[in-house]
Amino acid sequence: MLNKKTIIAIDGYSSCGKSTLAKDLAKSINIAYVDSGAMYRAVALYFIDNSLKFTDSSEVNIALAKINIHFDIIDGVNTTFLNNNNVEKEIRSPKVASIVSEVAAIPEVRTKLVALQREMGETNSLIMDGRDIGSNVFPNADFKFFITADPKVRAERRLLELRGKGIESSFEDVFNNLKHRDHIDTTRKTNPLIQTKDAIVIDNTELTKEAQLALILSIINK
Ligand code: C5P
């Protein structure tokens, strides 16, 4: 479908369905998908498991040097590995969600992960979703989408998704966590979540995932 190397950036607030959209789009147009949020989640998990004080920048730098993140496809599912351990389920847990935005606001963490993300896009086409993909990681991306939706609808969707994975939580906790992460993501000093002028904005509050995918495909194929 695409006849040249293409980078597609998908940014937006927490739990807007960016990952689902990115995965479906990747399958439809047969290019790789990278979940940049999973990388921040893996770093947060490492910090939790090693009881690291992330306010101490020398501790952060020592820890970052020991962190190795890669992705692999396991049973058809894009899976995150931290130091060669499959952490796909653990990184989605409420304990990781509760600190990931603080961890993602640390400049040293961003420097390391952004460099890795750029490397992934050097040779091949890819779709990457996150918060700063179109604004910072790939400012020259071929397509930039900014996804948004009503916060209550987002919290309901996230709750269902967590339950589907066997992770129990309440609507209130999920809703508060989304608001908390959106606040930190939009107000942090380094690479905050912003809507760039050249991004195509899609509010999917009332869109099914199929309708959203069809809309994006129509834009890409234009
Ligand atoms: O996308 P997801 O919700 O899994 O991302 C987890 C967290 O990682 C976000 O709340 C945000 O704080 C951070 N993140 C980021 N920049 C990205 C991707 C995610 O700061 N490119």
Residues contacting residue 215 through CB under 8 Å, at least 6 positions apart = 202, 207
Cα of 101 vs centre of ligand 1, distance in Å, is 7
Model pLDDT, residue 216: 96
Q: Residues of the chain whose pLDDT is less than 70?
A: 1
Cα of 36 vs centre of ligand 1, distance in Å, is 7
Q: What's the distance, CA 215 to chain centroid? A: 21
Model pLDDT, residue 1: 60
Whether 6 contacts 143, CB under 8 Å: yes
The residue whose CA is least distant from atom 4 of ligand 1 is 37
Enter the tokens of residue 168.
């129990």
Model pLDDT, residue 76: 85
